[in-house]
Each structure stands twice: as C-alpha cells, then as structure tokens.
Amino acid sequence: MTIDNDFVWRGETEKEFQALSEVLQLKSLLQKHVEALGFDAFAFFGSASGAFYPTAYFSL
C-alpha cells in the first residue's frame, strides 16, 4: 500500500494504515495553516514504530 509518492506502508493492518493516513492528512492541513501564518516550514518526524513527533521550525 502507498499513502503518497514518498511513503510506502509496511504495517500490519488496514486499521494502522488508516490511522497513519489520517495523521498525514492532518499534517498536510496543519502545514498549510502554519505556512499561511508566515512560518517557513512545519514537519513531522516519525520513528520506525509509527509514532510521530511534531517539530516546528520558525523564521524569526
């Protein structure tokens, strides 16, 4: 299964795949709002276990 061009899902269940899809959709929406506020970038970095940690970079 693939979520987008840059990510190939290697998880165990459809439920996990759906949850990750929702996280990535929220990330995309949040990134658009953050960029609209004038920040340079907003990225989520995940571990191999699928846990995602938000990290924001701001232009000052």
Percent of the chain residues topping a pLDDT of 70:
38
Confidence of residue 33 (pLDDT cuts 50, 70, 90): confident
Give the domain extent around 23: 13-57
Neighbour tally for 24: CB within 10 Å: 16
Does residue 25 fall inside a structural domain? yes
Does residue 1 fall inside a structural domain? no
Nearest-10 Cα torsion for 36, 41, 47, 50:
20
Does residue 8 fall inside a structural domain? no
- What's the structural domain count of the chain? 1
Is the pTM of the predicted complex or chain greater than 0.75?
A: no
Neighbour tally for 15: CB within 10 Å: 9
Cα 2 to Cα 12, 14, 17, 18: the distances in Å are: 13, 12, 9, 11
Give yes or no for residue 46 having a pLDDT over 70.
no
